[in-house]
Chain A
Amino acid sequence: MTVSSGHRKQNREIEKRSGTTGNAVVQTEWHHRHLLDTDILSREEIELVFNHATAMEEILGREIKKVPTLRSKTIVNMFFEASTRTRASFDLAAKALSADVINITASGSSVEKGESLLDTVLTIQSLGADVIIMRHQCSGAPYFVARNVKCSVINAGDGWHAHPTQALLDMFTIHKHKNGLKGLKIVIVGDILHSRVARSNIHGLAAMGARVIACGPPTLMPVAGAFPAVKFEYDLDRAIQGCDVVMPLRLQLERQQGGLFPSTREYSRMYQVTPERLSRANPGAIVLHPGPMNEGIEISPEVAHGPQSVVEEQVANGVAVRMALLTLVLLGTSYGSFGK
Chain B
Amino acid sequence: MAEKIIMTEADMRRAISRIAHEIVERNQGCQDLVFIGMHTRGVPLAHRLARRIKEFEKVDIPVGALDISLYRDDLSSRGLQAEVHPTSVPTNIAGKRLILVDDVLFTGRSIRAALDELVDLGRPYSIQLAVLVDRGHRELPIRADYVGKNVPTSRDEDVAVKLRDIDGTEEVVIIRESR
Contact = CB atoms under 8 A, between A and B. Distances in A.
Nearest to A64: B120
B70 A332 contact: no
Interface stretch (B15-23, B24-32, B50-58, B100-108): B100-108
A336 B76 contact: yes
A69 B70 contact: yes
Contacts of B41: 1-2
A331 interface: yes
Contacts of A107: none
Interface in A300-340: 327-328, 331-337, 340
Nearest to A63: B122
A69 B86 contact: no
B160 A14 contact: yes
B96 to A, nearest CB: 15
Contacts, number: 117
B110 to A, nearest CB: 9
Interface stretch (A23-31, A76-84, A187-195, A284-292): A23-31
Q: Which of A2, A25, A59 has the most CB of B within 10 A?
A: A2
Contact of B158 (A4, A26, A337): A4
Contact of B40 (A6, A20, A331, A337): A20
Given A55-B87, A332-B79, A333-B79, A5 B158 contact: yes
Q: Which of A4, A26, A332 has the most CB of B within 10 A?
A: A4
Contacts of A332: 79-80
Q: Which of B83, B88, B120 has the most CB of A within 10 A?
A: B83
Given A20-B40, A62-B120, A69-B75, A29 B82 contact: yes
Contacts of A340: 76
Contacts of A97: 70
A63 B106 CA distance: 31
B138 to A, nearest CB: 12
B142 to A, nearest CB: 14
B36 interface: no
Contacts of A112: none
A7 B158 contact: yes
A241 interface: no
A7 B156 contact: yes
A4 B75 contact: no
A67 B86 CA distance: 13
B85 interface: yes
A327 B75 CA distance: 10
B76 A21 contact: no
B4 interface: no
A58 interface: yes
B120 A69 contact: no
B167 A1 contact: yes
Contacts of B116: 68
> Which size class do A's interface residues fall under?
35 or more
Interface in B101-159: 103-104, 106-107, 116-117, 120-122, 135, 155-159
A5 B87 CA distance: 24
Interface stretch (A46-54, A158-166, A171-179, A260-268): A46-54
Given A25-B83, A51-B84, A340-B76, A4 B107 contact: yes
B84 A69 contact: no
Contacts of A66: 120
A68 B71 contact: yes
A337 B77 contact: yes
A87 to B, nearest CB: 23
Nearest to B120: A64
A123 interface: no
A4 B85 CA distance: 19
A48 B158 contact: no
Interface of B: 39-41, 67, 69-71, 75-88, 103-104, 106-107, 116-117, 120-122, 135, 155-162, 166-167, 173, 175, 177
27 contacts: A1-B160, A1-B167, A2-B40, A2-B160, A3-B158, A4-B106, A4-B135, A5-B156, A7-B156, A8-B78, A10-B158, A10-B177, A11-B158, A18-B167, A20-B82, A20-B83, A51-B84, A55-B69, A55-B87, A58-B86, A58-B87, A58-B88, A68-B71, A331-B79, A333-B79, A334-B79, A336-B79
Given A1-B41, A11-B158, A68-B116, 4 more contacts: A67-B120, A68-B70, A336-B76, A337-B76
* 5 A-B pairs closest in CB distance: A4-B106, A336-B79, A1-B160, A58-B86, A55-B84
Interface of A: 1-8, 10-11, 14, 18, 20-22, 25-30, 48, 51-52, 54-55, 57-59, 62-64, 66-69, 97, 327-328, 331-337, 340
